[in-house]
Amino acid sequence: MNEKQIVIIASECQPFFASGGLADVIGSLPTRIAKLVNTDGEKNQVSVILPLYSKFTNNTYRNKLAYVGQTTVNLSWRKQYCGVFKYSSKGINYYFIDNEYYFKKSSYYGYFDDGERFAFFSKAAIETIKYLDITPDIIHCHDWQTGLVPVYLRTTYYNDERFKETKRIFTVHNIEYQGVYSYDEDILEDVFGLAASDGYLLEYRGQLNIMKGAMETSNYVSTVSPTYAEEIMYAYYAKGLEFEVERIKAEGKLRGILNGIDKTFYNPAKDEALFVKYDKKTPELKLENKVQLQEMLGLTVNKDIPLIGMVTRLVGHKGLELVKSALPEILKQKVQVVILGTGDSYYEWYLRDLERVYRGKLSVIIAFNQDLSRKIYASSDIFLMPSISEPCGLAQMIACRYGALPIVRRTGGLADSIKDFSQAKGNGYVFDNINAEEMLSKVLQAIAEYDNKELWAKHVKAAMACDFGWTNSAKKYVEMYEELLK
């Protein structure tokens, strides 16, 4: 096989712009894939296509974008400008799609016209590939925002010679968000620019479902952990898509590959965000981080109080109901809790109110703040992540690397990465059921074990020794590509 052209299309990518774990994955996977040679000893050429959001304000990178040119994207009757900018690093070409009408907004998502915005982006990504004269072997799309790419390739571009041999892969990072619209010809034809006769590809339970369309029109579908790939066969996890998941599974199209974390970026020995750097050999320096965080957040300064950290979106499937039920009881203990995140205003306000009651013990920061998040990983003794569903989860891996012992529910990627200390090679505390009492008893166990300095040090050592790097996962992705290209 000659050099393979792999094009990755996604709506977020570190270090340019991020709202969640997707950005971490798109930030590290491409470089890892580019490093690996395929079985014939050839390298892969990887390109990444992203939207150029006005929210991309990190000037270290933004100032380095080079203008490549422009093309026009036809979306139904609309003829839209599509500027192309480029940034290259570590052998990867990143292309940014410019169109301020769609991407000059104060957030990435959450607008009434998200469907149109990402239909434009999906089509623009394909037009950019043509404009750049790339003939892709693989087009690998991520989450519903790019789900129309394989649909367009199967319909609008069906006869395009360039894509005749292209294989399509779709990765589900979270099935909670599917891109669902009412089945309306105006949306199908006028907004998505598809023919009425292609509606069946997107149709699911009487609605237009972009994620379903992507599953239907991709050669392989993967999700971000083996356990999640099993779980989404069930209605409870699949949020309605279980029939489609069952179908692709029966066709042998479904894979589950656990994500890794970028060990260079998430490295407490080199992390500039920390108050004090430390490593496996100096975990006691974590205490210095804790003390400084306590000062910074107005918590009682005392290095002997176990600190529980949470860095999370404040939404139901992250287990916020469990937290809400157990938090008052937890806060009766000799403990401190720091919670960083944004999400449903219901949880935001609940936590803000509770913070007022437990001043000095509970600190709630309603923000998405990467610098602070790493200070929290470094300062926490315990990291709470009681997700109801968790496709992969990266926070539990980062927590281990920073020596904060994770308490997780056995689901999705949490089940695939964290083992209870009662088992061989334990690296955290694991509970099974969606039950606040069960979670609470794990929290109380951890708080109690914290006082046993020797045991705790052993636990921290075990957690910090875990290898959650990308090497294995990237290999599995490349194997999946090769299977398709055989």
Sites of contact with ligand GLC (CB under 6 A): 20-22, 25, 173-174, 224, 259, 390-394, 413
Q: Which is nearer to ligand GLC, 22 or 297 (CB)?
A: 22
Q: How far is the CB of 9 from ligand GLC (least distance, A)?
A: 15
The answer to whether 411 and 421 are in contact (CB under 8 A) is: no
Q: Which is nearer to ligand GLC, 126 or 221 (CB)?
A: 221
d(CA 111, CA 130): 29
Cβ neighbours, 10 Å, residue 332: 10
Q: Which is nearer to ligand GLC, 190 or 230 (CB)?
A: 230
Q: Which is nearer to ligand GLC, 26 or 49 (CB)?
A: 26
Tokens 């990266």 sit on residue: 394
Q: How far is the CB of 353 from ligand GLC (least distance, A)?
A: 27
Q: Which is nearer to ligand GLC, 32 or 361 (CB)?
A: 32
Q: Coil, helix or strand for 70?
A: strand
Tokens representing 251 are 């066709």
Beta bridge mates, 256: 223
Q: Which is nearer to ligand GLC, 30 or 393 (CB)?
A: 393
Q: How far is the CB of 323 from ligand GLC (least distance, A)?
A: 17
Q: How far is the CB of 18 from ligand GLC (least distance, A)?
A: 10
Q: How far is the CB of 280 from ligand GLC (least distance, A)?
A: 24
Please give the C-alpha separations between residue 467 and each of 266, 398, 418, 427, in angstroms, as whole numbers: 12, 10, 12, 11
The answer to whether 310 and 338 are in contact (CB under 8 A) is: yes
Omega prior to 150 cis, within 30 of 0: no
Q: Return the residue nearest ligand GLC (CB atom).
A: 21
Q: How far is the CB of 216 from ligand GLC (least distance, A)?
A: 21
Q: How far is the CB of 13 from ligand GLC (least distance, A)?
A: 12
Tokens representing 388 are 């109801």
d(CA 295, CA 394): 27
Q: Which is nearer to ligand GLC, 150 or 413 (CB)?
A: 413
Q: Which is nearer to ligand GLC, 167 or 173 (CB)?
A: 173
For CA atoms 16, 21, 22, 26, the dihedral sign is: positive
Listed in sequence order, the residues at least 6 apart from 115 whose beta carbon sits closer than 8 Å to its beta carbon are 179, 181, 187, 191, 192, 210
Q: How far is the CB of 160 from ligand GLC (least distance, A)?
A: 30
The residue count for the chain: 486
Give DSSP secondary structure letters for 204-247.
ETTEEEHHHHHHHH-SEEEES-HHHHHHTTSHHHHTTTHHHHHH
Q: Which is nearer to ligand GLC, 288 or 390 (CB)?
A: 390
Q: How far is the CB of 174 from ligand GLC (least distance, A)?
A: 4
d(CA 50, CA 125): 8
Residue 212's closest CA among 259, 255, 156, 170? 170
Q: Which is nearer to ligand GLC, 146 or 174 (CB)?
A: 174
Residue 249's closest CA among 266, 225, 232? 232
Q: How far is the CB of 19 from ligand GLC (least distance, A)?
A: 9
Listed in sequence order, the residues at least 6 apart from 320 whose beta carbon sits closer than 8 Å to its beta carbon are 312, 314, 343, 344, 347
d(CA 484, CA 306): 49
Q: Which is nearer to ligand GLC, 315 or 331 (CB)?
A: 315
Q: How far is the CB of 312 from ligand GLC (least distance, A)?
A: 10
Q: What is the distance, to the nearest Å, from the Cα of residue 201 to the centroid of all Cα atoms in its chain? A: 26
Cβ neighbours, 10 Å, residue 189: 16
Q: Coil, helix or strand for 236?
A: helix
Residue type, 432: D
